[in-house]
Amino acid sequence: MGDGNGDPPAEGPSSSSGDAAAAGILRAFVGAVPTPTLVCDPETLAIRAANAPAVDLLGHDRGTLTLMGFPDLGETEVTVSGRSVDAVAAAAVDPPASDGSDDRVERFEWDLRLGDPGLRVDAALHAATIAGDEWLVVGLSDATDRVAAESELDGERRLVDALAETVPLALFRCTEEGTLSRWNDRLAADSGYDPESLSGRALTSLFDEETRGRVSESLSRVYRAGETVSCEVRLLTRSGERVPYRLSVGPVTDGDRVVGAVGVGEDLTEASLREERLAVLTRVLRHNFRNDLNVVTGFTGQAIEAVDDPELTGQLERVVDTAERLLRLGETSRKVERLLSQRPSPRPVALAPAVDAALESLPPEIRERAAVDVDVPEGVVVSAVAFLPEAITELVDNAVRHNDAADPRVRISAAELPSESWVSLVVADDGPGIPPAERAVLTGEETPLNHASGLGLWYVNWIVTAGGGSLDIVESKAGGSRIELSLRVADEPRAGDTDVFAPDAFEDGP
């Protein structure tokens, strides 16, 4: 018996010298081929020769292989496409007359081993004349890794496609030239174009003339600098409708090279209508609210002067206090509306001037009533939105207004935290403290039955978080409240970047 990787057993005494010579020629033929190769009898498909790469690939020694038929190599005699191996081999040996070729190559994929680990091969069969006889030559290559990679990629592609169709946004991909190569159904629905019309269309052509330049500029920034860019534009539908749209585009890279762009589009029609209607409603309510409350306070003040009944006077004064509180609530709502509509971005803000501006904007009666101590080092620059002084004003105003002491005291202090990337700004007072319902604003525990009475803390919290900071409330050592604003230290500011915006710069109409 031959060795594991050697030639098949020697022929018996009945073997002719011609057969031995033919076998040697076959072995020499396949041995010269660098890729896995078999030679089979074209009639019986019995394997007559196999080279070393075929032995390694198939996991059988030459002796075993030459005792097998070609169809016996697999766990099934059916190819991946569903044809039988016998039929494929027959087509290679005897090609159809209409083929017009004497040398037909049949290619197919075949699972030789199922399960894990499996083995799939790419096979190529063709008839050849070797040493004067006809043989079936079989070339093999391992396709297992390729098939596994294709299967994984196909699974990922199906997942991406499922996500793309599930997300209620328009998703798309552009080529290096800025033309659409892939998109989901939402983009087609938003634009009104069918898939054939979208394929190869320039992304910029989907937007109207006035905003098309923003799309072009955004794409340029994506391709040149690899940035992710967002802009608000108007989608021009196939029917000519102009739709308010938010577009975000980012790069697709291959190494250091940008080879395309991906993007997300969002129809802002409903949001724009909602914002417009809310703004109109707010302006009308605020105007009437303020005017009517001024009438209430005016006539109530006259009534107070006209009556001598102390009990009635006290009740009328409560009416005035309530009306003034509602007026302040309306004013705060105006500020909140302005903050939300402007969507300010963080910028470097010098902290000491911001505190000075906050104190200067306090109502005169508040400034005169309380003693405010300030300990804020010069040169401290934080990252915050321009409304930071208003947040400080709100905190000081509340600290004084809700303090029943004869001489309220408020202390404003700031210090850089040990991390050197954060600054702590503290507003502490000696008043009664902030009720639990007001603190619930920050903890998310506010409910319809137990809610904060005003917008002040909401407003402060929104200003601070818009700049990337946070707000915390604890008890003050003086017995009142201690509100700490944690603000990020700003990056190196450019000259003039630390100027504080004056609140008057943002005043709106009635």
The ranges assigned to domains in the chain are: 17-147, 167-267, 272-341, 346-506
Interval 439-462: pLDDT, tens: 665 555 554 444 344 577 888 888
**C-beta separation of 400 from 410 below 8 A:** yes
**C-beta separation of 414 from 376 below 8 A:** yes
Burial status of residue 142 (CB atoms within 10 A of its CB: 0-12, 13-18, 19 or more): middle
Higher-pLDDT residue of 166, 73: 73
**Residue range 17-147 in CATH 3.40.50.1000:** no
Please tell me the predicted confidence (pLDDT) of residue 501: 47
Residue 240, C-beta contacts closer than 8 angstroms, at least 6 positions apart: none
Give the class (CATH, top level) of 167-267: alpha beta
* 1 has a pLDDT exceeding 80: no
Residue 372 sits at φ, ψ, to 5 deg, of -115, 115
* 164 has a pLDDT exceeding 70: no
The upper half-sphere exposure of residue 12, i.e. CA atoms within 13 Å in the direction of its Cβ, equals: 1
Please give the distance of CA 96 from its chain centroid, rounded to a whole number: 56
* Maximum alpha-carbon separation in the chain: 142
Round to whole Å and give the CA distance between 376 and 361. Answer: 18
Interval 301-354: pLDDT, tens: 888 888 888 888 888 888 888 877 777 777 777 777 666 666 778 889 999 999
Q: Which helix (H) or strand (E) holds 353?
A: helix 351-360
Residue 158 CA: distances (Å) to CA of 153, 155, 162, 380: 9, 5, 6, 53
Please give the average per-residue pLDDT across 84-97, as a whole number.
84
* 99 has a pLDDT exceeding 80: no
Please give the average per-residue pLDDT across 152-167, as a whole number.
74
Round to whole Å and give the CA distance between 342 and 333. Answer: 14
**C-beta separation of 111 from 92 below 8 A:** no
Residue 190 CA: distances (Å) to CA of 179, 375, 498: 17, 56, 43
Please give the average per-residue pLDDT across 29-34, as a whole number.
91
Tell me which fold the domain 346-506 belongs to. Answer: Heat Shock Protein 90 (3.30.565)
The upper half-sphere exposure of residue 380, i.e. CA atoms within 13 Å in the direction of its Cβ, equals: 24
- Which DSSP symbol is given to 255? T
Supply angle C-alpha 229, 235, 239, rounded to 5: 165
- Determine the straight-line distance between the first and last CA of the chain, rounded to whole angstroms: 106
Q: How confident is the model at residue 121 (pLDDT cuts 50, 70, 90)?
A: very high
Round to whole Å and give the CA distance between 350 and 382. Answer: 6
Please give the average per-residue pLDDT across 280-302, as a whole number.
76
Task: Evaluate the omega torsion of the peptide bond into residue 389 and state whether it is cis, within 30 degrees of 0.
Answer: no
Do domains 167-267 and 346-506 share one topology? The answer is no
**C-beta separation of 326 from 307 below 8 A:** no
| Beta-bridge partner residues of 54 | none
